[in-house]
Amino acid sequence: MLSDSLRPYHRLLCLVLAFLSFWMPMSSAQAADYTAGAELNGNVATLWFQSNVNTSWVDAHYSLDGGAQQNVRMNFNTATARFETQFNASAGQVVQHAFTYNNGGGAYDTTQSSTTLQAANTALAPSFNPPAGTYASAQSVALASATPGAVIRYTTDGTTPGTASPVYSGPISVGASGTIKAFASATGLASSSVSSASYSIGGNLSGYNQGVDMAGTNATLWFSAGASLAWVDAHYNTGSGQQNLRMTYNASAGRHEQLIALGAATSIS
């Protein structure tokens, strides 16, 4: 049993070990592990994640129209063979979403994407495979709409596509960082909303720093990088189950942080 004088050092050591479980935007192999999206049926939205690997759990991180972020453990739907979570919403609202999932072992984080919820009698917006993210080399991006017979039009310069934009006929080669935007149309249906995916080619995770600051019984996990990062997720366990939290960016410190309140003799793994 640890003496009272050693407890702060024990907590600090546990936090340092826990911090090694941080995961940043994924490589191309990991990004190809899944597809994801959001659908609207009446006033109920279904956010879904379909895995191609050995995934036993998925956490969804989402917000609706820029509201508070929700972090929930998704349920597996055997009928659709995908992980899902549902919430009330209406047509035209925008869902910002990202996911944390496992692949038989550690946790992995996806990049953040957005989906505009669409009413019935509307073509379903295109999805991107591989999804938006940071990749070490050029990617071949396939577009698809779940609406049978849909025609997809797209742009690769970040502008909004229209009826005069090129018709998608096969995978798009993405050799440099940029954004693909696309919409779908089909006979007898209204055109879908525009979906988009941004790709960073040649990105890497070098040049970052991380650490743990202790202040009494409070610990601050922090992560900073030379490049601008949209998000950082923390994964840790204080004895009540693994926590998967998106860190908050502290502009004054120039880093992402997560504050953890520690109880007496608390250990973190």
- CATH code of the domain in which 169 resides: 2.60.40
Note the pLDDT of residue 8.
55
- d(CA 89, CA 41) in angstroms, rounded, equals 9
Out of 120, 147, 165, a domain closes at: 120
Q: Is residue 269 assigned to a domain?
A: no
Out of 204, 220, 252, a domain closes at: 204
Q: Is residue 157 assigned to a domain?
A: yes
Number of domains in the chain: 3
Same-domain status, 247 and 189: no
- State mean pLDDT over 146-164: 93
Q: Is residue 32 assigned to a domain?
A: yes
Side-chain half-sphere exposure of 182, counting CA atoms within 13 A: 28
Of the chain, the percentage scoring pLDDT greater than 70 comes to 77
- d(CA 167, CA 97) in angstroms, rounded, equals 27
Same-domain status, 38 and 98: yes
CA distances from 47 to 35, 75, 142, 200, 206 (A): 11, 11, 21, 25, 33
Same-domain status, 58 and 79: yes
Sequence length of the chain is 269
Same-domain status, 106 and 131: no
Label residue 177 by pLDDT band (50, 70, 90).
confident
Please give the mean pLDDT across all residues of the chain: 80
Residue 26 confidence (pLDDT) above 50: no
Out of 120, 144, 164, a domain closes at: 120
Residue for token digits 């490049």?
A: 227
**In this predicted model, which residue has the larger pLDDT, 135 or 226?**
135
Contacts with 137 (C-beta within 8 Å, 6 or more apart), sequence order = 28, 201, 202
- Which residues span the domain enclosing 132? 122-204
Could you write out the three-class secondary structure of 240-261?
Answer: CCEEEEECEEECCCCEEEEEEE
- d(CA 34, CA 17) in angstroms, rounded, equals 29
Same-domain status, 50 and 105: yes
Q: Is residue 82 assigned to a domain?
A: yes
Pair of tokens at residue 216: 């009494």
Dihedral of CA atoms 84, 131, 169, 194 in degrees, nearest 10, equals 70
Same-domain status, 238 and 200: no
Residue 24 confidence (pLDDT) above 50: no
Would the pTM of this model clear 0.95, i.e. be above it?
no
Instruction: Give the closest residue to 184 by CA, choosing from 240, 142, 122.
Output: 122
